[in-house]
Amino acid sequence: MSLFSPLILPNGTVIPNRIAKAAMEENMADADHAPSAELINLYSAWAQGEAGLIVTGNVMVDARAMTGPGGVVLEDDRHLDRFKGWASASRSRGAQVWMQINHPGRQMPAALGQETLAPSAIALDLGAQSKRFPVPRAMTAADIAGVKQRFVETARLAERAGFTGVEIHAAHGYLVSQFLSPLSNRRDDQWGGSLENRARLLLDIVKGVRAAVARGFAVAVKLNSADFQRGGFSPDEAQAVVAMLDGLGVDLVELSGGSYEAPAMMGAARDERTLAREAYFLAFARDIAKTATMPLMVTGGIRRREVAQDVIASGVAMAGIATALAIEPALPRRWRDGKADAPKLRPITWTNKPLASSAHMAAARYQLARLSRRRRTAPNVSPLWALLCAQLEAGRRARQYRRWIGARKRAA
């Protein structure tokens, strides 16, 4: 099977090739927390690169719950025209375009000034950086019902805006992932304890979204292959959850791993083990693919064509690429034309893994900002400089967000 073979999803939709632009957090919302002109420029660049699938960065289902201060929010139709522009630009060269929908749970920065919710009142353990995130409040049954409905409504609005699918984010330590993990979910009700209970929120969201959208609109799930923390969500549990998703109309499962506490998506586990240099989660995906009935996608570290081809040859349907496409948005087209590009950022060898993860994300986001202004990328940017720039921008955006959310509350 070639990287450039089409993929037919269970709902009959055809993805033109096996390369996916995986989600990255851009933090490029406009003043209304809708897609900005710069964000649309960025997605136009990716569309020109001709990946078969483009998955957006986080779109938040609740304006009060943000993964970052410049995030896009879709909870009503007030700015739907801007979302239509985003979808149209992203689809301009034939890609399938899915909106990743998310709620941060306890992984919301304290600088945003909002109450954080989680399955249980357990704070993030980030050492000296723990104070950047407040202790969350354990969610009530009403909170859980409200979150489920918000995921469904955002998916419905994404379909109206012209996106061809949604990806429900249940990985990387965000809210749905928090419910799945026994480390962050200590509940003793129907939402905690057994894996069946911990998976209930994800399954209910999937059922609700699938019932609310057309059959031809794709419903995907991003799932941790593992938390990479002792006592956390395990590979065996990931395989069991994929089995639970069978029969619910899920068109694809993307496998990743880690969280803010254990940033395995950056190539390192909490116990300091270094994961494979590329295709971090492929070994887990191969095991899960033996029983999965829907196509799988692997994301994490892929930057060379031969590695992406190995992913497809192993029986995984899609190769998800993030950082390499932040550096070279035309990578799929260049690979198809026989080029051997293997884009990479300057290596980060810091011993503080959470800080190194933040610097890596900042360096990637630095490239996105340049692309959004139609400038050449700068992959050799100093990680320290990128991190300082990101922190200054986050501070500015956080102040802007607090004013915006305050005005919304006063107007309500």
Q: For residue 313, is it within any domain?
A: yes
- pLDDT less than 50: residues of the chain: 264, 266-276
Q: For residue 17, is it within any domain?
A: yes
Q: Given this model, what pLDDT does residue 1 score?
A: 81
Q: Given this model, what pLDDT does residue 279 score?
A: 60
SS3 224: strand
3-state secondary structure 79-135: CHHHHHHHHHHHCCCCCEEEEEEECCCCCCCHHHCCCCEECCCCCCCCHHHHHHCCC
Question: What residue ranges in 300-372 does DSSP mark as E strands?
Answer: 318-321
Q: Given this model, what pLDDT does residue 280 score?
A: 61
The single-letter DSSP state of residue 175 is H
Reported as a single tens digit per residue, the pLDDT across 314-356 is 899 999 999 999 999 999 999 999 999 999 999 998 888 778 8
Distance CA 381, CA 345 (A): 8
Residue whose entry in the numeric block shows the structure tokens 């993964």:
67
CA distances, 287 to each of 240, 293, 299, 412 (Å): 12, 13, 15, 50
Distance CA 246, CA 227 (A): 22
The DSSP code sequence of 286-307 is HHHHTT-SS-EEEESS--SHHH
Q: For residue 354, is it within any domain?
A: no
With beta carbons less than 8 A apart as the criterion, state whether 208 and 248 touch. Answer: no
Q: Given this model, what pLDDT does residue 41 score?
A: 98
Q: Are strands 14-15 and 7-8 parallel, antiparallel or unpaired?
A: antiparallel
SS3 255: strand
The DSSP code sequence of 63-82 is TT--SSTT-EE-SSSTTHHH
Which pair of tokens denotes residue 381?
């940017």
Q: For residue 396, is it within any domain?
A: no
Q: For residue 412, is it within any domain?
A: no
Q: Given this model, what pLDDT does residue 270 score?
A: 37
C-alpha dihedral sign at 369, 375, 377, 382: negative
Which pair of tokens denotes residue 168?
């429900």
With beta carbons less than 8 A apart as the criterion, state whether 82 and 124 touch. Answer: no
Amino acid at 194: S
The radius of gyration of the chain's CA atoms, rounded to the nearest angstrom, is 19
Structure-derived torsion over alpha carbons of residues 59, 216, 156, 252, reported in degrees to the nearest 10: -40
Q: Given this model, what pLDDT does residue 271 score?
A: 36
Closest CA to 209 of 241, 178, 263, 248: 248
With beta carbons less than 8 A apart as the criterion, state whether 255 and 288 touch. Answer: yes
What is the domain range of residue 248?
A: 7-346
Q: For residue 113, is it within any domain?
A: yes
Q: How far is CA 372 from the centre of its chain?
A: 19
Is the backbone of residue 331 left (phi > 0), alpha (psi -120 to 50) or beta? alpha
What's the domain count of the chain?
Answer: 1
Q: For residue 397, is it within any domain?
A: no
With beta carbons less than 8 A apart as the criterion, state whether 281 and 255 touch. Answer: yes
Residue whose entry in the numeric block shows the structure tokens 């992406």:
308
Which pair of tokens denotes residue 311?
């992913």
Task: Provide the terminal-to-terminal Cα distance of the chain, rounded to the nearest Å.
Answer: 54
∠ CA 4-10-14 to the nearest 5 degrees? 35
Distance CA 366, CA 345 (A): 11
Which pair of tokens denotes residue 162?
């012209």
Q: What is the CATH number of the domain that holds 58?
A: 3.20.20.70
Q: For residue 209, is it within any domain?
A: yes
Distance CA 199, CA 190 (A): 10
Closest CA to 90 of 166, 164, 8, 13: 164
